[in-house]
Structure formats: structure tokens, C-alpha cells
Amino acid sequence: MRLDEFQGVNAGYVLELYERYRRNPESVDPETRKAFESWTPPSTDAASEQPVSGDANIRKIVGAAALADCIRRYGHLAARIDPLGSEPIGDPSLSPAAHGITDADRRRPGR
């Protein structure tokens, strides 16, 4: 797999999946995990790695939006709706940590 095979938002999506994989390999599906075991994104020059003003906030905002989308799509997998009390199967993408969000970020009021 080569990153230049992907265009625009698709390349960003692959990089986001790779970041999720690096933090927690279980947060991506088995096929993606297998692909990332032998792939790393191309390195960038040091100047582009320096965060710009507000870069951390943007990542938190994008992470929060991704978490909200996962809750909308997969929240039913974590819902406790069985009257007999069985545990829900859950989904790793429902964890804020899978999107780079901490408990402190969730408690911080919006600005």
C-alpha cells in the first residue's frame, strides 16, 4: 500500500486510521491491522511537523466529531438494553481515547 494511491480526504482518512492503529491496534478492523503491520506513512520534513497555532485544538475538534459519528453509528453496540442484563458487545471506536480525546478534553467547556 502506498499513500500516493489515495487522494485528498481519502489520504487523510488512511493517516487517521494509521494513527488509531498506532495508539491501539484493536481499534481498527483485522484487515486494516494486517495492512498496517507492514506499512508506515512516508516521512515528512521537520518543518511540516511543527504544529501551527491551534493545531492541537483542531485535532481535538476533529477527534470529537469522529467520536460523535462513531457513537451515532455504533452506539447501539454499547447500549445496555437487554432486560436480562447481558453485557453489550461494544466497539473500540466508541472510546474517546481511540480518537485522541482525554477525559479532561471532554470536561473542558467550549469557547
| Distance in angstroms (rounded) separating the CA atoms of residues 42 and 104 | 32
Q: Are residues 22 and 64 in the same domain?
A: no
Q: Are residues 43 and 84 in the same domain?
A: no
Q: Are residues 31 and 59 in the same domain?
A: no
Q: Is 0.75 topped by the overall pTM?
A: no
The pLDDT assigned to 1 comes to 65
Q: Are residues 40 and 60 in the same domain?
A: no
Structural domain for 73, as ranges: 55-111
Q: Are residues 17 and 42 in the same domain?
A: yes
Residue 49 has pLDDT above 80, yes or no: no
- For the stretch 63-80, pLDDT in tens is 888 999 999 999 999 999
For the chain, what is the domain count? 2
Long-range contacts from 24-30, C-beta under 8 angstroms, 24+ separation:
24/92, 24/95, 24/97, 24/98, 26/92, 27/92, 27/93, 27/95, 27/98
